[in-house]
Every structure is written in C-alpha cells, then in structure tokens.
Structure 1
Amino acid sequence: MFLKDKLSRFTHQIRSCHVVFILLVLTGSYQAIAQQPRSRVDQLSDEDVQNFYRKAQASGLSEVQIEQAAMSQGYTLDDIAKMRKRMAQIRTLTSLPQNNLPPESFKGRSFPSDLSVRRDTLLPDTMRRDTSRKLKVFGASLFENAKMSFEPNLRIATPRNYVVGPDDEIKVDISGASTGAFDLKVSPDGTVKVPDLAPIFVSGLTIEQAEQRIIARLRQGGYQGLGKAGSGTSANVSLTNIRSIRVILVGEVVRPGTYTISSLGSVLNALYLAGGPNPETGSFRKIQVIRGNRVVRTLDLYDFILRADQRDNIPLRDQDVIRVADYETHVELNGQVRRPAIFEVLPGETLKTVLGFAGGFGEDAYRASITLRRNTARERRIVTITEEQIATFVPKAGDKYNVGKILERYENRVQIAGAVMRPGDYALEPGLETVKQLITRAEGLRKDAFTNRATIIRERADMDRENLSFDLGKLVRGEVADIPLQSQDSLTVLSIRDLREAYYVTIEGAVNRPDTVEFVANMSVADLIAHAGGFQEGAKPNLVEVARRIRQDSVGVRTTTQEIHRFSIDRNLKITAMEGSADNASFRLQPFDIVYVRTSINYEEQRQVNVYGEVMQPGNYVIYNRQERIGDIIQRAGGLKPEAYLAGAQFKRKGQLIGNDLRNLIADPGGEENLLLQDEDTLFIPRRSEIITVQGAVLNPASVSYKADYSFNDYISEAGGFTDNARQRKAYVNYPNGRKDRTHNFLFFTSRPHVEPGSTIVVPFKPIDSNRLSSAERIGILSLLATVSIALINVILR
C-alpha cells in the first residue's frame, strides 16, 4: 500500500522507529540485566522503570502494542506482568495517576497508514501535461495538478461536530485540584476503556457528546465535581490520532471505486483521489453526497473554483457514497474572453452567466455581438446575439460561442505630425473639427515649420488614400478658408530642415580633434578651431585654408570649382586675413565648409630604429635626417663587435625580413645595400652561426655543423640524400640575412648554390599526382592496346 504523502510516510517511519526503540530498551539498554534474562525486570531501579514508561508512552504505542512487540522478542508473560506490577507500585508511591504522561511526551496527530493514494501522483508532471490546443472543460485542471491533494489540516482544533468512531484516539487532560491524563482508543465495538472504570460507548457521538459522556463517567470513578463550576477541577477532551474511513465514488468519475481516507477528509479530498469528474461525460456541478441512501448535500465545483465557497465541501463519514452525475448541457465559449473553455450550464442560467464563468470580455473584445454556431436536427446554423440579448439568451447543448476582436482602426482619430509642438493622435470631436483647430490643440507650429505647404492624407470611401495639399501660412492667417477634418485624416507639417541637406562643417589637419560637426550659424574659423581642441604642436597657424562650395549659379562653366580663403591665426586664435581673402572680422563659415590647418615644414615627430645584436651600443636610435642609412646607424651604435657576422645581418621593415647582404657595407658605404632608414626599422647583427640546416625531401632532415670545404651536395649527403619524391632541380638555399639562391639548370648541367654559415638548405617535394595511373591500370591499358593491335593486323592481312 502506497503512503498518502510525505507526512504519512514520515509518520509511518517514526512509528516503526518507535517499535525498534522500545525493543532496544527492553533488550539492550541495560547490559547487566540482559545477562540474566529471567530476572531482568527485578534488576531495574525505580528510576529505570519510570524512564522506560515515559519513553514507551511518548512513542505513541498502546500498551497492547508494546506487549506484543516484547513477546515477539522472547519476553514471557511473567516478565510483562512484573513490569506492570512495578509500574503500579511506582505510581502509588509517587501519586502519579495511571496513564499520566509528562508534558514533553505530547504527540501530534498523524494520518492513518492505510490511506488510499492517487496513482498518478508518482508520475512526473511532464507525463500528465496536455499539449493539445483544443478547449478544455472548465474545472478539469483542478484535479490534474499533482501538487494539490485537498488533505485536511491536522494542526487545527478538533471540530466540535466530528463524529467519533473505532480507531480514533481521544486524549483526556485533567487539571486543577486533581490531575491526570488518559489516552483512550476507541475499540471496534465503539467503546473506550478508562482504567478501573466500565467501558464508555462513544462511537457515533460527536466529540462534544463524547466529552460529556467521558467526564460524567470520570465523576463516577472518583473525580468529584469534575467540570463543574467552583469545583477547582477541569477536564479537556481532544482528538489525538484519527481513524480512516472508506468512501465510495460512483458515476462519471475518472477512477470510480472505494477509497480509504482520513476521518477528517472532505468531498474534494475524495474526488481528487478518484481523479475528479470525467471531463468527457461527468458533471462538475451536480456532485451528490449520499449517506444512508439519502442525498445529504449536492456540491457545485463552480462555487469553489470561482468564489472559493466550500459550504458544500462537507466532511465525509464511513461508507458515504459520492455520485457524479452526467452533465446535461455543455457549451463552448471561445475568442476574446478571459477564460476560453467548455462550460457546464444548469437550467435557468443564461449566456450572461456563462460569460461570468469565463471572466467576462477581454480587453479587445467586440461586444456589439457574439456569433453562435448551433446544432439543429439536420445541420448547423449561425445565430448573431446582440449585446442587449446576452442577459436573456438561454444556451443549449452543443452551442459554440465566439467573441470576436475589435478592428484595428479608430472611429474618430485624426493625426498630426511634423513641425508642431505636440504631434500625435487626437480625437475628432466638437471643438476639434478643422485643420486650424487641430494645430491649436497641438499647441501651435514650431519656429522651423515650412508654412508654404502642408499635406493631408485622407482615406476615401473605398479605403484608397488621397493627398490634399494647401498653403498652411495663408490658412493660419485666415486668408483662405479652414479645412474640415474627417476621421483617419493625417496632417503633416514639414520642417524647413526636411527640405534641405543636413548642414555640417569639417576641420582637418594639425588640430587636436579633427571632426565633422553640425553647422551652426555665425560660426567663425576660430570658433571651429577651438571646438577641435586647438592647434597641435606642429601646426602652422599662419596658413589656414577654408574650402567653400560654389553655391550661386552662373552663366557658363567656371574654371574654378571651389572658393579658397586663407587666414593667418596665432596661438591666441586671433585671425588675420591673408591677401586675396575676405575680411577676417566679417568672415563666417557656411554649410559644407572644410577648414584645413597645415603642418609646419620642419616639424616632425621623432622616428626611430632599433639596433641590437653584436654592436657596441645596442638600442633605439632616432633618425635625425632624411638621408640617414643603415651604415650611419651602425656607426652611431659604436660600430661592430669583433665577433659580429655582417653577412648574416637581418634588416626588417614593418616586421618583414628584407633580403639584404650587408657584408660590403663598411668597405663600400655607397652601395645599393645601404638602404635609407624609416620609422620602426630594426637591424639585428648576429654572431657567426656554425650550423647548417637541411629540410624537405631528404631521408634524414637535420642540422649539421658548417664545414668550409663542404659543398651543397655534401650537406645533402649528411642528411641521407634525396628521397624518391624530391625535386632536386628546385632545391635552394635560404641565407641567414633573408636572401635566397636556387639551383641553376642548363641542359644536362646543374649548378648548386653556395652554402654559407647559418644557411638553411630546402629540398621541395614533388606534388602528389592524383591522376597518375596505378600499376594494375597501366597493365590493363597495355593489354587493351595489344588486343586492338592484333585485331587490326588480322584485318589488314585479310
């Protein structure tokens, strides 16, 4: 039997642990006693017996259950009788009433362990998710949620109308002049047993009636005046553990059958276990609770779902029957409503009621009418329900209602855009019916408005659009009649900026922030230079040029295409016009002007080269004139060290190695190898390398030591010789200074390049011939040719 939920599972485990704990107390807690099993009870002290008794009571097990557990572990009836006698003696000596529990032994309620469990609660949510897009029956999702079980809350006060039955446990607390506590379990015959008193029949009574009967019997048993005013003694009767009951679910439920629930369970609790009403056939609004062949309550789930009304969600009793009837009328409500679904309608309810079930119209709903598709005896028909008919229209089985969406248009909208203070949408209404009134409502024209022309885009009767143009300036001044507006009109007032290019000016050259900026009227050259952050250090302020477009038309074609104005400006931005230019005081920039600030002839930023390796003073050196060459920079670096190998010098420009032989540089400074220097050139003078590297199509690519008497072929032999796929005629030498020399071939003569220290010999591979025939293919072709030849010979001889 599956446990109901986590609480029931935990309770079951705790109860099992209590049994084990009691058995451990009886069998292993006192090792000295365990060695003498027949006298173990006699060996216990009074304190040990009291501790054992408190722990046994706190475990939640009855005395009968404790005795049964002890006997299953080999304890005899004599041992149990001795323990009973010892506990009775201790209670008499300490005036501890029987079944009295210490305060810390209180235990809460727990669910019975035999409750029914809904089968699909063990399935993952994804297995129960409905991905179909068809309308669902309203209310069906309430019972599809595996996280909702409608279990009763055990931490509430005992309902005063709770009906007591077998297996219930009742706690009686007596306080005041007399004290005591009793845990009473209702027996199968409906009674509870108070020690030293006759059984009390409580089955079928409410907890309030059972309390009165138990207190009355306790008064007879020695608790005089219990519960009476002025007696000083009071009693509290509460329900501790609850029993399980069995209810039957029949009719149109998902899983009809008999279910075991707690005695505090309600109708919704039982319905959830059975999966709820069957959405295809069951009624969500006529759920009957039958008790003793009589309907005691009818539950309408819509009351609970829509208003959280649980008046009819009554507690169930043992052998109650829950019957879910067939639905009578289902209607579909779709479209622009808040909860589209299939709804169940009871007699007397109207379409307005169904709209209430769906949460009413959506925000974009077309409320003027609702479209109905209704089944007739032979076919379907369309019915249009007006807004006035909704309150009285009676739905029928199979009706399908659709609430449409309002049109994406406005019945009284006019628009204004462009050079007005507040462009946007406005309502066509009294007081706003003409163009002039619309401009006034938009708080007037902007100063940049182009008043010679404005346009209205108007929608015709056939929904085509037309353009209406008019002189806005005359209309505003009242020189022409105002123009009436129509719904959907769109008025556009152009700005003067909309009718021209975007104006800008540009400054280039030796300023700190060259830029193109928006043109501003009355801007001077000095203003633009200040905007650009002033002159750079290398600027030539006495030569500032302004290039201006020729905007005025003239007769014929001009030889000049631009106007050039020159100014001399000092560091304080004081302008002096140069000869042939406009007056500096009145000169102002115009749109599209370009200002050029030149750089001084002799001003240059430092350019440097890096020299390192076998020189006396390696490091960075500035290029101080335009004629400085490689030899000059070597002399400035202090010359070469004795171990310098000039033939292997590497000269790089922009990171690329330049093949150059500098070995004759010192003896012949005017040679072509003595290149002019540029910014960021690097020169590396290495030591003489004693290594020759052989790479490529040789048997053993390797590095070998340099030998002055070795030739190219000798080094190839050092590497094992050429491979079969070597391109011997293309072999070349890569010298350490970046230069290269290849093999020279003339007829049958081959001249190999000279090898110098630090060189790399490279032997290329032959390219892979993917079209080359295999041996088998060649044999096949030869065989074919031989056969064809023989055939031709035979033909000729005939």
Structure 2
Amino acid sequence: MLTTDKLSRFTRCIKPFYIGLVLLALTSTHQVFAQAPRQRVDQLSDEDVMNFYKRGQSSGLTEAQIEQAAMSQGYTLDDIAKMRKRINDLRTRQTIPQSQTQTSGYRGRTLPDDISRRIDSLPTTEGRRDTTKKLKVFGASLFENANLSFEPNLRIATPRSYIVGPDDEIRVDIAGASTGDFDLKVTPDGTVKVPNLPPIFVAGLTVEQAEQRIITRLRQGGYQGLGQPGSGTTANVTLTNIRSIRVTLVGEVVHPGTYTISSLGTAFNALYLAGGPNPETGSFRKINIIRGNRVIRTIDLYDFILRADQRDNIRLQDQDVIRVADYETRVELTGEVRRPAIFEMLPGETLKNLLSYAGGFGDDAYRASITLRRNTSRERRIVTITEDQLANFMPQRGDKYFVGKILERYENRVQIAGAVMRPGDYALEPGLETVKQLVERAEGLRKDAFTNRATILRERADMDRENLSFDLGKLLRGEISDITLQRQDSLTVLSIRDLREEYYVIVEGAVNKPDTIPFVNNLSVADLIAQAGGFQEGAKPSLIEVSRRIRQDSSGIRPTVLDIYRFAIDRNLQISPLDSSSRNSAGFQLQPFDIVYVRTSANYEAQRQVNVSGEVMQPGNYAIFSREERISDIIKRAGGLKPEAYLAGARILRKGEVIGNDLRNVLTDPGAEENLLLQDGDTLVIARRSEIVSIQGGVLNPSAVSFKSDYKFGDYISEAGGYTDNARKSKAYVIYPNGRKDRTHKFLFFTSRPEVEPGSTVVVPFKPLDNNKLTPAERIGIFSLLATVSIALINVLVR
C-alpha cells in the first residue's frame, strides 16, 4: 500500500485524474465503457472527459484504491498520462480557475534551506580603507571579498556526472507517441517511487546512470519502446531541486568546522564559508581534499589567483574533508615590484617564480641586483643577487627580498635650453658629441638668440657643478674650436629678451579701455589709442601728452626728469603737433615705457543728481543744474513745500550720513550758512511734523511719549520714570529730527537743559562700569593689612 510520504509530487497532482479514470471504469451505466472495458482515452469525447473530471473531484476513494481500480481495468501509465493531458487542454480552453486544479511543472532549482552562511558576512568589511602598513599575505584578500563567494550556479544544465543522493529531486519528461512527466524525490534509502512500479534505487549513481535505470523501469511498466530508436517516444531526465551535503574544514582555516553546502558546491565555496586559509599560519598552496580517508586533490590557490585556473575547484561530495596545512616557506618581496607582499614558496621554486608571483619588476625597478636579508642560525646576513642568478636562486624560509629603484640620473643625457628651435633632452651618442652638433640637432638658433655668450652647466667628478661660458657666434662660425660635451651637460642659449626689461607702454585717461600694453615696434600714438578702444565721450583729443623716460646718459644733471610731447588728435585719429618739440608728429613712434595721457574736456561733466523726498510738491531725482545750486534752489525746483511740511525736521544725507543742519531759514534767506551747495548723491528728506518724543538710555522706562509744548526736559524724564541709579544726568542730550544735537550745560551750580522739539530723542547716557572697584572682602583684607603694619611700626618706635 502506498503511503503519503512516498508519493511523488506527480502522484499528488493527478489525484483528480485517477478518480476520473476509476469512475470511468466502475460506472456500468456509461454507454462508452459498457461497450469496451479497455476503451482508450483518445476515443473519449471532450464532454465525457469533463464529466469524469467533475466526478473525480467529488469522489472519496483513496489514491491506492484509484490506482488499483484503474490498473484492474487494463489502463496503463500511458493512458493515465494521456488522460491528464486531455483534462489540462480542456481546462485551459474553458478557463477553469487555477485554484481548482493542481498541475506539476518545472520549478527552477533552489538552494536547500539549511545551507550554511559565512560568519562574517554581515556586516562586511568590503570597501573599508586599510590604514595599516603591515605587509599583506598574497592571496589572503581572495576570501575577504564579499562579492566573490563561489556559490554554485543553479541555472546550468544538469551535470551528467552529478552523483544522485537522498533529497535530490529528479524530473522525468516523456514526449512523443506517449506523454507524461514525473517529479521523483530520492528517499533516505536511496530510491525513487514511480506509480505502480517497484522503488528504483538511484543513490550513488550519476545522473546519466540513474536516467538509464529509470527509463528501463518505465519501459517495463507500460511505456513500450521508451527511449529506443524508432519508437517515437523519448524521455528526458533532469535534476530539479538539489540536496545539501556536509563537508568539514580542518587545519589552518579562519573558522574551522562542519558546513552545509549544496550538492553542487565546490571546494572554493566551502573555503569561502570558512573564511579561507588563516593568513598567519595557513598554507595557500597545500589544501587537501580528503574523500574516504584518501587525498583526491591538492589545491594550489596561486593557480586560480594568477591564471584563473579552476581545475582544482572540484565539486564536493557528502562527508568530504578539506584540510589546510601549515605553510612551510614564506618570503617577503618589497620595493619596486607590482605586487609587494608575503609569498608562499613550494620546494623547487626559484626567485624567478617569486618575481612572477609579484607581477614582475616595476617600471622604475633597479634590475641589475636584488638585495636579500637572510636569517642564519645566529644573526642575519646580506646577499646581493644579480640578474643572472634569478632563474637558479632558491628562496628559503624567512627571506626578505628588496628591489631598489633606479637612480634619477641619465647615463647619456645632454640638455639644451633657451633660444633654440627645439629645446629639450638629447642622447649623447656618435654624431652628437659637441656643442655645434647639439645646436644643429635642436634645429638651430631662434632669431632672438644672443650669440655673444652661451653657458654650459657641467657636473664635475665630485658632483659639484661648474659654469663654462663661450662666444656661441664665433663657435658656430668656426672662429674658435668646438667644445666636446660630457654626460649631464646642460647648454643654455640666452635670448636678447632675457637681457632686458619687459617692454610695455601705458595709456590712461579719457579712453574706453585704459591699460598697460606690451610694446611692439612701430607703434604710434593713434595705434595705441585705437587699441585702448578709442576716446571716451568727454575726451579732449586736442590735448594728448606723451611722457618718455630719459634713456641717454649725460655728464651733468638735467633739470627735467622726463621728456614731454604734446599732440592734437581728431576723432578720426589724425595727429598734429602742438609745439615745436613735437613737429615731426606724423612719424612719431612710441618707445618702451612711454605713458600716453588723454585729457578730459574742462566743460564735460557727467550728470549729477540729488534726491528730494517727503513733503514737497514734486518729489524725485533732480539733476544738479549748476555748480552753485543750493538746497533752497532744489526745493524751489521741486515745486516748494507742502502745507504739512516741517522744515525744522528736514534732513540732508550725504554718503549715507545725516548732516546736522537747520533748514528753517534757507527759503527766506538764501545766503544763510545752512543753505549748503549740493553734491552728487545727496538726499533731501522733508518730513512731516512729528508729535512724538522718544526717551532712551538711563531712565527707568525708556519709551516714546507725545510732544507737549509746555513740557521741559525734566518733564519728559519724569514721563520715562526718572533717572536710573547709573544714569549720567549731566551728560544728557537731545537729538533733533534734523540731525542736530544739543547737550546739557553746567556752570558752577547752574544746570541748563536743552529744549525739546517735536520728533526729538532724549538720550541719557549710562555711567561706565567700574571694573577696578574693590569687593567687600578685598576691602577687609586691605584694612587688616594696614592695621598689622601700623602695629608693627608702633612697636618699632616704642623700642
């Protein structure tokens, strides 16, 4: 009798199909089966098939009874598979809800749920910057990379050499004249169960061997000719879900122990889970895979790191043991190599192999020799290894090799710089051995070359430098002998520009772009003004001055320090002289350091304006009409004052600062001193009469109160609550709305307080803080000291 735990997934899914077949076999009233007890499924109509399907859903028979009844009526596994296919097709066409059916289909491979995870996988240290300066063991970073876990790829074709074991799931697809599919799970005793067939033992077989055994049993169970040529029926056996296996890692690994991996897992996958070999003690080149107490493979991780060779990354089997041995020989290689590190060496490997592990020499490496520091039984010793010894020199445990850097020197370099066509470094070689040959190799001198003198900077034997000067022009003409060059010589050919100041001319004044311009020959005044963007609108072309330095030496002291030339230039830049010293104006050329001045017309002036705001008839901006225009004039131009204007509170601001001024008399008396001349940017504010007086500073309640014509200074102080204890009463003052100020006056015992007008601000200053005042404790201390001193003096006098 079949038990539930041994039914395959296929058997559970086709339960309704079996029920329909049994009803088909047992229903004597059905006309079709009354005629032929072994009538084939393909002879049934779609209506009959659907009726059988619906009856099967309501049947209460067990699966064992369904199988027994179907087989007793002569139905084979082929008939059962055809019936299932017919029902599937009808259900698809009639859109039967999926929840009412159970079908078997391929589910993508998934990892078993009990797979081990790496201990330090969360959080990962990937991406952190290593700030330690300790030399790394080559290969240790391989298993520290979280992005390189070596997990098996489940989306691959079924490996034909895969060994089947318990918990594996095998799918059998039958196509052709007969169809069907079975999902078979390998039981703990190593068998799979196909319905109506004895268990098939597949554990320990490869997938290919298991396929042949299953097909043979299916052929015996009703699939005639299955898998045989010409039968028209084929079978495909694939591995669906895979089992897990347990492997043990011992020896010098970071986290030794037993790990659960998938049956497709490899040796590198298991090593990654255990953290890889211990960088301090473990070997990266002697990792044994032990199966059945026998070493079946020895892994050398250098093959994978350096050549991506995965031949040793074999698939593991259950109960495999991976043992990481202790390293035997490790050496250090530092200096000018591509991968400085600590490397593990195997017997028979040479220093040349070590260099290949390090990526070879660096670009600046000194290859002639390598320095070795080797441990002896008592101390260390230095060994120099030449390039010829690399292939045969055998490293030993604890060796430290250092590859130096080549010197910043050239064995055959000479240099040429300055006024030549191609300055730079050149090789000292046959055909380039003298100064003349070096100049020719540099494609000759530039036109600005100063040939009267050239210099060679030469390195002596003691590394000091010396300077050799000579006439380059005579040398090139053959008037003096050529000079033989030596290694590291540097020839410098000066330019005539190197021996003088940088030439320039200056143009300033009423031009659009005043500037300092590099001097060029044959430059006229008109050319310079054109380069400066031409004249400004207010320029006076009829007066151009040029100041020139006195360059000629004389025996005496001249009364003048400059030469001045004056010209007249029209808007078309046509020049004419203004005095006898500048008569040759047409041919006048500028010289280095000349300064050209373009004057501004005396009557030309840009508009200047003032702003009038407040209680005037026409507030706004006004241009200053004349140099004599005053405040009263601008008020008249603004249409005069409005009736509510308060002239006593009018303010004039110049450059943002309030000018204290009383403008009450300016309209009636234009000659009053308060009637100031206007300047560009002035602002005149005519305010309304303010009915407020503000009291600030050393009063008990600083506030603003209404103006009262019968109030005096003291009355407003009383309105603010009176003076504070630290108020400076004698320094109180009033700020009037027009910006003027008036302070308190004191004479003998008489105090005169300023008047308060509407809009004024009364200010009472505070007394300054006395930070040097003694505290009570300090006073007591001083008195005690004085008393003690006094008593001492009395005692001295009495004696």
Alignment of 1:170-569 (within 5 A): 170-569=170-569
| Residue type of the alignment partner of 2:530 | A
Q: Indicate if the aligned counterparts of 2:126 and 2:144 stay in contact, CA closer than 8 A.
A: no
2:449–2:494 contact (8 Å) kept in structure 1: yes
1:791 Cα shift? 7.9
CA distance in 2, matches of 1:134, 1:240: 48
- Residues 259-279 of structure 1 show CA distances to partners (whole Å, capped at 9, x for unaligned) of 222211222122222222222
1:665 partner amino acid? V
Match of 2:593 in 1: 592
How far residue 256 of structure 1 moved from its aligned partner, in angstroms, is 2.7
Q: Distance in 2 between matches of 1:252 and 1:374?
A: 26
Aligned to 1:572: 572
1:746 aligns with 2:730: no
CA–CA distance in 2 between the matches of 1:725 and 1:796? 47
Aligned in 2, Cα 1:130/1:505: closer, same or farther, shift over 3 Å?
Answer: closer
AA of the residue aligned to 1:306:
L
- The answer to whether the 8 A contact 1:548-1:594 is kept is yes
1:670 — aligned with what? Answer: 671
Residues 758-785 of structure 1, C-alpha deviations (whole Å, 9 max, x = no match): 1111000111112223445445655665
Helix, strand or coil at the partner of 1:147: coil
CA distance in 2, matches of 1:479, 1:790: 108
Provide the rounded CA distance (Å) in 2 between the counterparts of 1:784 and 1:138. 81
Residue 137 of structure 1 aligns to a residue whose secondary structure is coil
Q: Which moved more, 1:770-779 or 1:235-244?
A: 770-779
Is this contact kept in 2: 1:99–1:182, CA < 8 A? Answer: no
> 1:489-510 CA distances to partner (integer Å, 9 max, x unpaired)?
1111111111111111111111
Match of 2:81 among 73, 76, 97: 97
The separation in 2 between residues aligned to 1:182 and 1:497, in whole angstroms, is: 97
Tell me, yes or no, if the aligned pair for 2:745 and 2:751 is still in contact at 8 Å: yes
Note closer, same or farther for the CA distance 1:628–1:550 as it changes in structure 2 (3 Å cut): same
Give 2:688's aligned residue.
687
Query: In the alignment, which residue of structure 1 is the partner of 2:646?
Result: 645
Query: What residue is the counterpart of 2:710 in the other structure?
Result: 709
Deviations 1:388-438 (A, max 9, x none): 111111111221111111111221111111111111111112222111111
- Report Cα offsets for 1:15-68 as digits up to 9, x if no partner: xxxx9xx9xxx9xxxxxxxxxxxxxxxxxxx989989999xxxxxxxxxxxxxx
Further displaced range: 168-177 or 318-327? 318-327
Give how far 1:182 is off: 1.0
* Counterparts of 2:705 and 2:199, CA distance in 1: 115
Q: d(CA) in 2 for partners of 1:51 and 1:723?
A: 107
1:776–1:98 CA distance, 2 compared to 1 (3 A): farther
Deviation (angstroms), 1:132: 2.9
User: Letter of the aligned partner of 1:714 in structure 2?
Assistant: D
Question: Could you tell me which residue of structure 2 aligns to residue 616 of structure 1?
Answer: 617
Q: Distance in 2 between matches of 1:505 and 1:647?
A: 57
Residue 438 and residue 127 in structure 1: after superposition, are their counterparts in 2 closer, same or farther (change >3 A)?
closer
Taking the aligned partners of 1:379 and 1:484, their CA distance within structure 2 comes to 52
Q: 1:791 to 1:561 in 2, by over 3 A?
A: closer
Partner secondary structure for residue 122 of structure 1 = coil
Structure-2 change in CA distance of 1:84 and 1:698 (3 Å): farther
Structure 1, residues 416-464: CA drift from partner, whole Å, max 9, x if none?
Answer: 1111111111111222211111111211111111111111111111111
Contact preservation (8 Å) 2:337, 2:359: yes
Matches within 5 A, 1:138-157: 138-157=138-157
1:590 counterpart letter in structure 2: Q
Provide the rounded CA distance (Å) in 1 between the counterparts of 2:138 and 2:472: 60
Q: Quick check: 1:611–1:618 contact (8 Å CA) kept in 2?
A: yes
Instruction: Please list the CA deviations of residues 217-257 of structure 1 after superposition, one character each: whole Å capped at 9, or x if unmatched.
Output: 11111111000111000000111111122222233323333
Partner Cα separation in structure 2 for residue 497 and residue 434 of structure 1: 26
Given residue 553 of structure 1, which amino acid in structure 2 is its aligned partner?
A: D
Pairing 1:625–2:626 present: yes
Whether the aligned pair in 1 keeps the contact of 2:106 and 2:240 (CA below 8 Å) is no
Instruction: Tell me the distance in 2 between the aligned counterparts of 1:738 and 1:417.
Output: 72
Structure 2 gaps of 5+ residues are: 1-8, 17-48, 89-102
1:279 and 1:771 map into 2 onto residues whose CA distance is 72
Does 200-209 or 255-264 show the bigger shift? 255-264
The sequence identity of aligned pairs, in percent, is 75
> CA offset at residue 88 of structure 1?
9.1
* 1:731 paired to 2:715: no
**Partner secondary structure for residue 516 of structure 1:** strand
> d(CA) in 2 for partners of 1:50 and 1:787?
126
Paired amino acid for 1:265 = G
Partner Cα distance (1:428, 1:478) in 2? 22
In the TM superposition, residue 168 of structure 1 has moved relative to its aligned partner by 1.4
Q: Aligned partners of 2:637 and 2:325: how far apart in 1? A: 111
Look up the SS of the partner of 1:474 in the other structure.
Answer: helix
The CA distance in 2 between the partners of 1:734 and 1:415, in whole Å, is 80
Q: 1:362 to 1:649 in 2, by over 3 A?
A: same
Following superposition, the deviation at residue 296 of structure 1 comes to 1.9
**Retained in 2: the 8 A contact 1:169–1:184?**
yes
Q: Cα RMSD between the aligned structures?
A: 3.0
Task: Answer whether contact 1:374 1:383 (CA < 8 A) is retained.
Answer: yes
User: Within 1, Cα distance between the matches of 2:721 and 2:714?
Assistant: 11
In structure 2, the CA distance between the partners of 1:176 and 1:664, relative to structure 1 (3 Å rule), is same
Aligned-partner Cα distance in 1 for 2:685–2:70: 108
| TM-score of the aligned structures, taking structure 2 as reference length | 0.87
**Following the alignment from structure 1 to structure 2, what is the Cα–Cα distance between the partners of residues 327 and 51?**
72
Question: Secondary structure of 1:120's partner?
Answer: coil
Structure 1 counterpart of 2:137, one-letter code: V
**Alpha-carbon displacement from aligned partner over 1:534-563 (angstroms, at most 9, x marks no partner):** 112221111111111110011110001111
Would you say the 8 A contact 1:50–1:87 is kept in 2?
no
Unaligned runs of 5+ in 1: 1-18, 27-45, 55-77
**Partners in 2 of 1:452 and 1:651 — Cα distance?**
72
Q: 2:148 matched to 1:164?
A: no
Shift of 1:299: 1.7
C-alpha displacement at 1:280, in angstroms? 2.5
CA contact (8 A) 1:742 1:753 kept: yes
Q: In the superposition, relative to structure 1, how do residues 51 and 755 fare at CA in structure 2: closer, same or farther (>3 Å)?
A: farther
Native 8 Å contact 1:49 1:86 kept in 2: no
* CA positional deviation for 1:156: 0.7
Deviations 1:671-690 (A, max 9, x none): 22111111111211222222
Task: Give the equivalent residue in structure 1 for 2:766.
Answer: 765
2:500 maps to amino acid: R
Indicate the residue corresponding to 1:5 in structure 2. Answer: none
- Give the aligned residue type for 1:191: T
Q: For 2:315 and 2:481, how far apart are their aligned partners in 1? A: 82
Q: Partner letter of residue 556 of structure 1? A: G
Contact 1:100 1:181 (C-alpha < 8 Å) held by counterparts: no
Pairs aligned (count): 734
Partner Cα separation in structure 2 for residue 109 and residue 53 of structure 1? 32
State the AA in 2 paired with 1:170. I
- 1:28-177 counterparts in 2 under 5 A? 82=62, 95-97=79-81, 105-125=105-125, 131-177=131-177
Q: Which residue of 2 aligns with 1:15?
A: none
Render the CA deviation track for 1:87-113: whole Å, top value 9, x for unaligned: 999998995439979787320112222
Deviates more, 1:200-209 or 1:105-114: 105-114
CA distance in 1 between partners of 2:212 and 2:656 (Å): 107
- Describe the shift of the 1:52–1:617 C-alpha distance in structure 2 as closer, same or farther (beyond 3 A): farther
Structure 1 residue 126, shift from structure 2 partner? 6.6
